[in-house]
Amino acid sequence: MRILNGDKVMIISGSFKGTVGDVIKVDPKKELVMVEGVNLQKKHMKPTQQNPEGGIIEKEGWIHVSNVQLYDAKTKQATRVGYKTDSKGNKVRFYKKSGQLVK
């Protein structure tokens, strides 16, 4: 998977199309990502010792990785990701549209 925790991504399809947010969690086996503030789902919680009031909370749901692309702040667009080796021989990611390195 080319998307990692902490990456800034844009949703490219679905009801949240065009939304930009940070990746919270990644599940590479199921090819799912969780983006902050996107696909909020309500969950009814019973009162517990940690949460004595209980109630309804909102939390992010999973999105398939094919529905997101990395967001390039320089071009302000979603872009594909490429890999290359830097001068030290390390594998690094870069944005295909601008050529800038990711982070």
Residue 103 pLDDT exceeds 90: no
Of the pLDDT bands very low, low, confident and very high (cuts 50, 70, 90), residue 29 is: very high
Portion of the chain with pLDDT greater than 90, in percent: 97
Say which DSSP state 66 is in. Answer: G
Residue 83, pLDDT score: 95
Q: What total number of domains does the chain contain?
A: 1
In a domain, 60, yes or no: yes
Could you tell me the CATH number of the domain that includes residue 66? 2.30.30.30
φ, ψ for residue 32, nearest 5 deg: -125, 150
Residue 58, Cβ density class (10 Å: 0-12 exposed, 13-18 middle, ≥19 buried):
exposed
Residue 80 lies inside a defined structural domain of this protein: yes
What are the pLDDT digits (tens) for 43-90? 999 999 998 999 999 999 999 999 999 999 999 999 999 999 999 999
